[in-house]
Structure 1
Amino acid sequence: MLPFEAVPAALSGLREVVRNQLAEWGLPAFAEEAELAVSELAANVIKHVGKGATATLVLEPAGDRLRIELHDKSYQLPALVSPACDDECGRGLHLLAGMAVDWGTVLTATGKAVWCELSADPDDQRRRVLRAEAALTRYRRDVGAPALLQSRSTQILEDSAADLISDLLHWVAAQGGDPDSLLDRAQMHFEAEAEAA
């Protein structure tokens, strides 16, 4: 459990705490996704609860899963929205839902907790692949591309993945992040998962 003040400068410190704690627990394979999840959840507190709000990060390993909770003092529950292609915000929960095995929100006595669970289980990894395919299909629909119908061409889905990754990199840059660093981290995480499998 780590209480913190929700300000942009705290995000890098939260990521470092997550990385160090997972290394201490012998769970470095979770590091990249956990850092991203924590960054997204903390950024949502800053944006929707308020800069300087008090919050608490909770990490809990359980077998081949890692549970991440972020508690804040607001009773307003987040909701998935369908942002337009040129919107700079509104994709954080979609990103969280796409990489987590499960996620949700719960009201607490003092506000709410937004949580997610990450998994290293191969069956959960296969479910992530299917979720990614569903996300690509939705993305194609949202950008006005023709439906795939019965023939799910690998090349069409790869092109859609490239477009989606490009959109995500634009989003990262718009948030002041480094797209090259994100790509490097994603590649390292992918390679670590592939090696573990």
Structure 2
Amino acid sequence: MSGHDTSSQLRSVLPFEAEPAAVRDLRRAVRGQLTAWSLPAFADEAELAVSELAANVIKHVGRGSAATLVLEAAGGRLRVELHDRSFRVPVLSSAACDEECGRGLHLLAGMALDWGTLLTATGKAVWCELSADPELRCRRVQRAEAALANYRRELGAPLLQSRSAQILEESATDLIADLLHWVSAKGGDPDGLLDRAQMHYEAETA
């Protein structure tokens, strides 16, 4: 993956074929590019975003279909775009396991500052913006609480006092376990993910 700096904006474009093996290659390429840009704080969330976006292309557009990953970094934010040749736009709905873009899209919406879709001349782009700004931690905590409350509803758990600390911690444990299963199913390393998440958290709170 190659990038260049234009007026303080870093940009990298990577065409690929939507195959399961390509998802692992994309994760490595993203981490390598962010390291080269001296932006390692984005790496964990960017890997998760790219993994989910690429997996959705494989599942809903088709294996072997042409796609392009675009990374743009500027102003303390990272924009991740994944272009494909389908005009079918994903919709954020209830996250049952068999629904299109269900849990993955909820995950994307929960960790990103913003996300959306763009129709292009040849298909669509699904994008999200990430930030490593410490001042935005409060917003991320609020997003996490909302995601956990929503996760609890999806499991059919009682909603009464669903935002109490104890219940949200129990939901967080279940959600983390689900995410580890998700990472394993995508061919990733659950233990490595936990280690990176811990290092990422410690670096942000230092």
Q: TM-score, normalised by structure 1?
A: 0.89
What is aligned with 1:163? 174
What is aligned with 2:134? 122
What is aligned with 2:106? 94
Q: Confirm whether residue 188 of structure 1 aligns to residue 188 of structure 2.
A: no
Question: Number of matched residues?
Answer: 193
Do the aligned partners of 1:119 and 1:125 also contact (CA within 8 Å) in 2?
no
Cα distance, 1:173–1:25 mapped onto 2, change above 3 Å = closer
Which residue among 124, 146, 151 is the counterpart of 2:158? 146
Map 1:29-40 → 2, pairs under 5 A: 29-40=41-52
> CA shift at 1:60, angstroms?
0.4
What is aligned with 1:24? 36
> CA shift at 1:56, angstroms?
0.8
> CA shift at 1:79, angstroms?
1.3
What is aligned with 1:131? 143
What is aligned with 2:4? none
> Quick check: 131-140 or 89-98, which moved more?
89-98
Pairwise CA RMSD of aligned residues?
Answer: 1.9
Map 1:106-117 → 2, pairs under 5 A: 106-117=118-129
Do the aligned partners of 1:59 and 1:68 also contact (CA within 8 Å) in 2?
yes
Q: Structure 1 regions of 5+ residues with no counterpart?
A: none
Cα distance, 1:88–1:81 mapped onto 2, change above 3 Å = closer
Q: Structure 2 regions of 5+ residues with no counterpart?
A: 1-12
Q: TM-score, normalised by structure 2?
A: 0.86
Cα distance, 1:87–1:182 mapped onto 2, change above 3 Å = farther
Which residue among 75, 86, 95 is the counterpart of 1:83? 95
Q: Secondary structure in 2 aligned to 1:188?
A: helix
Task: Give aligned-pair identity as a percent.
Answer: 74
> CA shift at 1:144, angstroms?
2.5
